Amino acid sequence: MANGNATFRHSNVALLGLTETLAPNEVTSQEFDERLADTLSSLNLPQGLLQRVAGVYARRNWDEPHQFADGAITAGKKALAEAGVPPDAIGLMVNTSVTREHLEPSVAVGVHAGIGLGPQAMNFDIANACLGFVNGMTLAANMIDAGQIEYALIVAGEDASRVQEATLRRLNRPDITREEYLNEFASLTLGSGAAAAVLGPADKHPEGHRILGGITRAATQHHELCVGDHNGMFTDTKGLLSGGMELVVAAWEEAHETGWDWREMDRYVMHQVSDVHTNSITKAANLDPDRIPVSYPELGNVGPASLPITLSREAENLKPGDRILCMGVGSGLNTAMTEIEW
């Protein structure tokens, strides 16, 4: 099979700032168990499945669902301050959120205005399920390498509260079946939050973290395995795990066939889903679990914001020269892996 553009390398791009906005309200999995007690009893299912099976003990929510955009604005301002890049230097701002209030205009325009970016900054949304943030970084990096822009800001703000509430109402129906319950189980792992990253030219920022490149790979024959909207997320859990593992392993092997060597990275920062997914990837690629930071136990799956939030939290433990592999997977299915030299 021709490789095409599946593998890519960046020549002069650095990560200059990376921040998160923590949604203020913790919602524990125990609270969900209490609200679903009658359903769990009638279906002969035990309490604590989210904790034992998924490893998700809590997630966060905003005070109001629409505040996901405010979270992205706050994260964006913090990332610019951390990077030392003024708003009028940004040439591109990409919003990568799954969450949106309406079909148009884009979420990006409100975030652009809220941050106070100038008219020189083109702005738009990239929607690719949980892979959007990684895709946004790759697009921005390519534009920096091409000389079209100098600095880029990537954001994602997510709200899961509406999906959670709709799912809980449905799971509490008196006629709910065990199969229906399990098909919506993944919805209860979702959480809310926001993240932002600033990218710029590496030659002007020796203090930055070099984004070296990576690989993408698609398996879109699986596009019906996980479908969601504000009313819920409906998942073929077994099919999604099987198809996802096949896709990730294929990308991993192809990357090594085309010159990458990711067997001894200092950190593997994955999209945050659950114990099952993390353990499966760890086993399939023979990774050291001690090198895999996780945030899903306390934050759940925050969609495309999950991976940058996790990397942001791990940053204080990293030292210059550490090699980081970001490993994202999005419903559809798509995957991307990107190496960063700290």
- To the query of whether residue 34 is one of the catalytic residues in this protein, the response is no
Q: What's the per-residue H, E or C state across 106-152? A: CHHHHHHHHHCCCCCCEEEECCECECHHHHHHHHHHHHHHCCCCCEE
3-state secondary structure of 92: strand
CB atoms within 10 A of CB 178: 12
CB 272 within 8 A of CB 59: no
Residue 104 CB-density burial (10 A; 0-12 exposed, 13-18 middle, 19+ buried)? exposed
**CA dist., res. 294 & res. 313, Å (int):** 9
CB 292 within 8 A of CB 271: no
From 20, 130, 158, 184, active-site residue = 130
Q: Which of 137, 92, 88 is closest to 117 using CA atoms? A: 88
**CA dist., res. 274 & res. 56, Å (int):** 7
From 104, 179, 264, 316, active-site residue = 104
Angle at 67 (CA atoms; ends 62, 73), nearest 5 degrees:
120
* Residue whose entry in the numeric block shows the structure tokens 């990560």: 15
**CA dist., res. 29 & res. 49, Å (int):** 9
**For 44-49, which contacts have Cβ atoms below 8 Å and span 24 or more sequence positions?**
45/178, 45/181, 49/185
In single-letter form, the type of residue at position 162 comes to R
- To the query of whether residue 224 is one of the catalytic residues in this protein, the response is no
Residue 341 CB-density burial (10 A; 0-12 exposed, 13-18 middle, 19+ buried)? middle
* Residue whose entry in the numeric block shows the structure tokens 């299912």: 45
Catalytic residues: 104, 130
